[in-house]
Chains A and B, each alone.
Chain A
Amino acid sequence: MTCRFALLLLDDYVDNELAPKEREALEKHLENCSSCRQEWERTKYLKELLKQKLVNDPGEDYWKEMTDIILARTIEASSRETVSLSFTEKATIQRGAFIRSLVSAGVSVIILVSAIILGTAQKKSDSTIYAGENRLFVAASLKPSDKTVTTIITKKEQINQAQGMLLMGAPTFIGRFSTIFEFINSGE
Chain B
Amino acid sequence: MKKTIPELVESFLNGDEKAFAELVKRYQKKIYSIAYQILHNHLDADEVVQETFVRVYKKRQELKYVKYFTSFILRVATNYAIDLLRKRKGQKKITSDTSALPGHIQLDLSQRVATPSDNLENKRLMGEILRAFDELPYKQRLTAILHDIEGYSKAEIAKAFNCPEATVRSNLHIARKKLKKILKQRLKQKE
Contact = CB atoms under 8 A, between A and B. Distances in A.
Given A11-B173, A49-B125, A78-B57, A56 B105 contact: yes
Given A53-B149, A67-B21, A77-B54, A43 B122 contact: no
Interface of A is mostly: helix
Given A11-B172, A67-B28, A46 B126 contact: no
Given A11-B172, A67-B28, A73-B50, A46 B180 contact: yes
A156 interface: no
A12 B126 CA distance: 22
B176 A43 contact: yes
Contact of A59 (B24, B46, B104, B154): B104
Interface string B3-45: 0000000000000010011001100110011001100001000
B161 interface: no
A58 B106 CA distance: 10
Contact of A70 (B53, B58, B172, B184): B53
A66 B180 contact: no
B188 to A, nearest CB: 11
B148 interface: yes
B76 interface: no
B42 A74 contact: no
B123 interface: yes
Contact of A50 (B20, B29, B129): B129
Nearest to B130: A54
A56 to B, nearest CB: 6
A54 B28 CA distance: 17
A105 interface: no
A15 to B, nearest CB: 8
A5 B54 CA distance: 46
B57 A74 contact: yes
B50 A70 contact: yes
A63 B18 CA distance: 16
B102 interface: yes
A24 to B, nearest CB: 21
Contacts of A21: none
A71 interface: yes
A47 B125 CA distance: 13
Contacts of A47: 148
Contact of B102 (A46, A58, A67): A58
Interface string A27-59: 000000000000100110111011111111111
A106 B144 CA distance: 71
Given A51-B149, A53-B33, A56-B105, A42 B184 contact: yes
Contacts of A52: 122-123, 126
A69 interface: yes
Contacts of B172: 11
A58 B173 contact: no
Interface in A72-112: 73-74, 77-78, 81
B176 A11 contact: yes
A56 B54 contact: no
A90 B104 CA distance: 50
A42 B180 contact: yes
Given A11-B169, A67-B21, A50 B148 contact: yes
Identify the 9 closest CB pairs spanning chains A and B, nearest first.
Answer: A50-B148, A74-B57, A55-B36, A70-B53, A55-B33, A42-B180, A50-B149, A73-B54, A67-B24
5 contacts: A8-B173, A42-B187, A46-B183, A53-B33, A54-B37
